[in-house]
Structure 1
């Protein structure tokens, strides 16, 4: 079969590999769609030895059940499913609570992360990773598994502060950010302020329900402040889907006292913390900071339900498998709006 693999650090190419076979407890899935994520770029750019090579990338997967391994029940050939990508140890306290995204033994383990992923015609996954998607378009189902799940999990962590009449600033209206706007619209009654450098991304945010949009630039903090009020007032919640130094600076400068900053993006920025009485604080008093990672299987089921109800839809650009390396180049250059989805 055809597969797009990281054959060496930084090298992504399409190759021919043998068809995989489902082992006990596993399912062979015919891949219908797989999302291209910035996390894949971090894997490609990682130092040698941090991730296995060669490895097929792709952790946002939806497809059709092909064959069942020994001991698998509850699934039949032809069933349509999304794949929950995380594979925890299964026995630590976090995994036993269903929080495999907090696994204490395997910090970053899963499909397309520590074993072959979905950028191929077929992928083998543990049966426990499958969730039914019904008649949902597979190009829509695939992004739900990360681009939908990660912002949903972040919003769940901030749910207590996302009360009617509060304000949430969403920084970065890309693959995850444009889903976050829809999730906030569907599940809260907050005022949404969308921030991005791209006018096209801000136009998308407005169409999806953002109440205000601010183009990122030298005066963006002041412009956001005109919307959320002066310190110690401000945004009750800030979701940063970029995670670079400029966006984190914006986040900490517009969040309210007692607010919450959720650092979701992986652009390598630093958020300083200096609660010193005789110097300007880097964060307002009583502000909390969380670093969400992906989400739980239960949350993914809820995200799929929202999509099937028609209130959550990914803005996708599709590419054939042979053009997956090109899609990642576009993603690296910031030329993908919404989510790139590869269709084998």
Structure 2
């Protein structure tokens, strides 16, 4: 079968033929409907070096945002998994035995350092292929919803959802304001989730006019990046600042802009893994506000994301590529030429 393979560190992936996988005990075989191309993939093959924390040993098939139809069941799989039905795949894979994994928090597995991989498509063969395997208990049913458009939800939907869900107490009540910085695949869905879950005014900011226009279509008040960015955000809030900010970029300037936009008692969640840093000062930090971070989300969160998707409350902006154009999807992603999310569709010519 055809697959996009991470062959070696600091090397662009290859499109090649690999053996069709077989499901092991507790696993299922899926015919892939769609696989999202993520900037995390770019970090895997472009930036990580051997032995670096977070680096995953090659070779393996990329793709950690996956959906598909169950084709076969591995040993011991029965019950709710239906052959032929469409499912979204929860990517993180923990040890399955620690307290975090018992709560569906595989991303925070207490034994992650002993695991041979982080997730499907991150150390273990992923979904940038015609077929993939996944643990049966990591499947979320999609019903009759479009599985191709759903594929990015397993990261680009799950990650902002988890961050926003943790911040909901800060957005409860009238007159609240939320800030979204970075309107790529995650930020655009983040705007939709905030509109679906809260009554807050959603302020969205980016440097790309087309990204700002898309956010306005989804109900956000937009501010262009630039010298007056923070000033304009504060003007929208009547000078008080935002109650919750979500930085989907994570570089030092975006974290600084978010921090400067905060109200007293606010919560700033850095979601983007841009490597930025934040400097604390008692005299400039709003009282009882704090900076935190989140990583991916839980299995329970993903079920709730799918509920929003099936109800029509969130809709990923998807650009589809056939398997033979998968490498072009990654080239365009690296060049910043993809708006929304690039999804590789093996069945598309």
Q: TM-score, normalised by structure 1?
A: 0.95
Shift of 1:274: 3.1
Please, which runs of 5 or more residues in structure 1 have no aligned partner?
Answer: none
Shift of 1:11: 2.5
Question: Take 2:316 and 2:162, find their aligned partners in 1: how far apart are those partners?
Answer: 17
Aligned to 1:126: 135
Of 227, 245, 260, which aligns to 2:252? Answer: 245
Of 178, 183, 189, which aligns to 2:199? Answer: 189
Question: Take 1:77 and 1:98, find their aligned partners in 2: how far apart are those partners?
Answer: 24
Please give the per-residue CA displacement for 1:130-151, whole angstroms capped at 9, x wherever unaligned: 1100111112211111111111
The question of 1:92 aligning with 2:127 is answered: no
The question of 1:78 aligning with 2:88 is answered: no
The question of 1:291 aligning with 2:293 is answered: yes
Bigger shift: 201-210 or 87-96? 87-96
Aligned to 1:179: 189
User: Quick check: 2:4–2:14 contact (8 Å CA) kept in 1?
Assistant: yes
The question of 1:206 aligning with 2:216 is answered: yes
The question of 1:116 aligning with 2:125 is answered: yes
Aligned to 2:6: 6
Aligned to 2:317: 315
User: Quick check: 2:58–2:123 contact (8 Å CA) kept in 1?
Assistant: no
- SS of the residue aligned with 1:90? coil
Please give the per-residue CA displacement for 1:8-64, whole angstroms capped at 9, x wherever unaligned: 113211011111111111111010101111111111121124212111110000000
- SS of the residue aligned with 1:98? coil
- SS of the residue aligned with 1:8? coil
CA RMSD for the aligned pairs?
Answer: 1.3
User: Quick check: 2:14–2:327 contact (8 Å CA) kept in 1?
Assistant: yes
Aligned to 1:305: 307
User: Quick check: 2:246–2:271 contact (8 Å CA) kept in 1?
Assistant: yes
Please, which runs of 5 or more residues in structure 2 have no aligned partner?
Answer: none
Please give the per-residue CA displacement for 1:186-224, whole angstroms capped at 9, x wherever unaligned: 1110001010001100000000111x1001112211111
How many residues are treated as equivalent by the alignment? 336
Question: Take 1:112 and 1:337, find their aligned partners in 2: how far apart are those partners?
Answer: 22
Aligned to 2:68: 63
Shift of 1:77: 2.1
Of 213, 220, 230, which aligns to 1:221? Answer: 230
Bigger shift: 4-13 or 61-70? 4-13
Please give the per-residue CA displacement for 1:171-191, whole angstroms capped at 9, x wherever unaligned: 011100110111111111000
Aligned to 2:273: 266
Please give the per-residue CA displacement for 1:301-341, whole angstroms capped at 9, x wherever unaligned: 01101111111100111111222222122212222111111
- SS of the residue aligned with 1:259? strand
Question: Take 2:24 and 2:72, find their aligned partners in 1: how far apart are those partners?
Answer: 10
Q: TM-score, normalised by structure 2?
A: 0.93
User: Quick check: 2:269–2:293 contact (8 Å CA) kept in 1?
Assistant: yes
Bigger shift: 328-337 or 153-162? 328-337
